[in-house]
Structure 1
Amino acid sequence: MKFRRILIILIALVITYFSLTFIMKEYVFPYKYSEYVEKFSEEYDIDPLLVLSVIKTESDFKEDALSIREAKGLMQIMDKTGEWAGKEIGMNYFLPNMLFDPKINIRMGCWYLANLESEFTDLDLVIAAYNGGSGHVKEWLENKEYSKDGKKLDYIPFPETKKYVDKVKTNYSIYKYLYSKD
């Protein structure tokens, strides 16, 4: 009788674990737009789980997302960044509304992340630059108040950027946990 109870409890725990994992993957941390995420993360040598973490943080997978600062689409790209990225990736023309197209938005976001990774070796710096701009990150690295060694940030003076870095890193950890096993 005791063995039977333990077996039932173990089965219930296993079912609960797989149900929660399914719910997390399906509804909370989905792997949406996988065709574009896979294609462009490979093309620009970016971890697709990082791309998903940025999308989750930026727009929660809403392709029509528009911020109060006019950042657009899944990866919340500003018009100026889109125009610059469009030229760099060989687009013949660029219109700001193109940023609502998931394929274009993810391609530009992956290109931009790769560009930031070539500029900064530390993931925290890449994420901070994606949100706060690479110019600010460079300034912070040069300031002993924010960086003791000029290579990592000890303090991020923009509270929004600090929260952003923490949120992307948390999402990234969850995505790695949920999908690295697959």
Structure 2
Amino acid sequence: MRRRILQISAALLVLLAAGIALLTFGHDTVMNTAYPRKYEEYVVYYADKYSLDPLLLYSFIRTESNFDPNAESNVGARGLMQITEQTFDWIKGKIAPEEPLTFDDLYDPETNIRFGSYFVSCCLLRYQDDLSTAAAAYHSGWGTVDALLANPDYSPDGKILTGFPYPQMRRYVQKITDAYTQYCEIYGPAS
């Protein structure tokens, strides 16, 4: 009887160890699938070029298009980082004025990540590296954010938003910050 109890105990320990391993591996697989790092060559290159954390760019891409290079919004924003034609024209004038790029080129992952990375870096630079304020600007535009910064109800210091009065903006900022937190937890801090 004692031998049988030891065999059952040993079998239970093996099953428990296998279950823990499966849960750990399964959790990692699920999280890596939910928070992928697609287009890594372009993301890492342009993150380095514009002094960004690649995990931050993944957060924007995941939030904007869920990694669909052919995504198009109801306002006509295109590609992985959902860039509008007006923003495309502005960025093109800054980083590619002589290149024969058109708005349709935003369906190309490298072009989209290049332009989107530049714009994220501009938003962060303009808003003192505050991710929430920069994300609000990426989503709603600098004019909207600048107007909110002038209102002490949303920005006591006139530099950083502490409140987001528009539900869509608030949800977007929350999605970006949550995605970035998850990416950092899964993949660790930028090296």
Shorter chain as denominator, the TM-score bin is over 0.9
- The letter of the residue matching 1:93 is P
- The answer on 1:120 being equivalent to 2:127 is yes
Inter-partner Cα distance in structure 2 for 1:118 and 1:41: 14
CA contact (8 A) 2:65 2:71 kept: yes
Inter-partner Cα distance in structure 1 for 2:189 and 2:153: 40
Output aligned runs, 1:68-107, within 5 Å.
68-91=74-97, 92-107=99-114
Instruction: Please identify, of 172-181 and 156-165, the stretch whose mean Cα deviation from structure 2 is larger.
Output: 172-181
153, 160, 183: which one aligns with 1:175: 183
Q: TM-score, normalised by structure 2?
A: 0.88
- The letter of the residue matching 2:119 is Y
- The answer on 1:161 being equivalent to 2:172 is no
Aligned-pair identity in percent equals 34
| Misfit runs of 4+, over 4 Å | none
Inter-partner Cα distance in structure 1 for 2:155 and 2:127: 14
Output aligned runs, 1:8-47, within 5 Å.
8-25=15-32, 27-47=33-53
Inter-partner Cα distance in structure 2 for 1:154 and 1:36: 32
Unaligned residue ranges in structure 2 (runs of 5+): 1-5
- The letter of the residue matching 1:9 is L
Aligned to 1:62: 68
Inter-partner Cα distance in structure 1 for 2:42 and 2:120: 15
Unaligned residue ranges in structure 1 (runs of 5+): none
Output aligned runs, 1:132-151, within 5 Å.
132-151=140-159
Change over 3 Å in CA distance of 1:162–1:67 after alignment to 2: same
111, 115, 134: which one aligns with 1:108: 115
Q: CA deviation at 1:3?
A: 6.0
- Aligned residues between the structures: 181
Q: CA deviation at 1:181?
A: 7.1
CA contact (8 A) 1:86 1:93 kept: no
Give CA deviations for 1:101-129 in whole Å, capped at 9, x if unaligned: 10000000000011111101111111111
User: Rg: which structure is higher?
Assistant: 2
Instruction: Please identify, of 13-22 and 120-129, the stretch whose mean Cα deviation from structure 2 is larger.
Output: 13-22
CA contact (8 A) 1:82 1:94 kept: no
Q: TM-score, normalised by structure 1?
A: 0.92
Change over 3 Å in CA distance of 1:107–1:156 after alignment to 2: same
CA contact (8 A) 1:83 1:94 kept: no
- The answer on 1:53 being equivalent to 2:29 is no
